Structure 1
């Protein structure tokens, strides 16, 4: 599967808009970025409009580090 440069550009533009709308999240990721090392646990939760929450977590594997660093540059 090849990389579509147009899609990457669109993702970058959308990420910039998202960061502008949600600056606290960007600040959180900037602070957390230095703490996300192999062995760290990331936890995600979503609360829907009815107040129901789902949550998951995962332990960062050494193979995950490069992808997480790349995503943080968007």
Structure 2
């Protein structure tokens, strides 16, 4: 069962995050509207530390991944 208190904390944290980083939700909205997130799409994440170290990975999306994203989108409404 979902803990309502945790959902409230996540909602508040997301609000602070999007206030600090307004381009990120705009990026997600653009990706969603332009139908670029679909099966076999590759998502890549790259992290660069202040010291210049890099770490990156990627995933090729499956139908199960898309179902998870849709569930999260519905839960956010």
Query: Which bin holds the TM-score, normalised by the shorter protein?
Result: 0.7 to 0.9
Partner-residue secondary structure (3-state), 1:15: helix
Distance in 1 between the 2:27 and 2:15 partners? 15
Shift in Å, 1:66: 2.4
Distance in 1 between the 2:73 and 2:49 partners? 25
| Number of residue pairs the alignment of both structures matches | 73
Q: Indicate the residue corresponding to 1:8 in structure 2.
A: 7
Q: Indicate the residue corresponding to 1:44 in structure 2.
A: 45
Structure 1 unaligned spans of 5+: none
Runs of 4+ in 1 over 4 A off after TM superposition: none
Q: Indicate the residue corresponding to 1:19 in structure 2.
A: 18
Q: Indicate the residue corresponding to 1:63 in structure 2.
A: 64
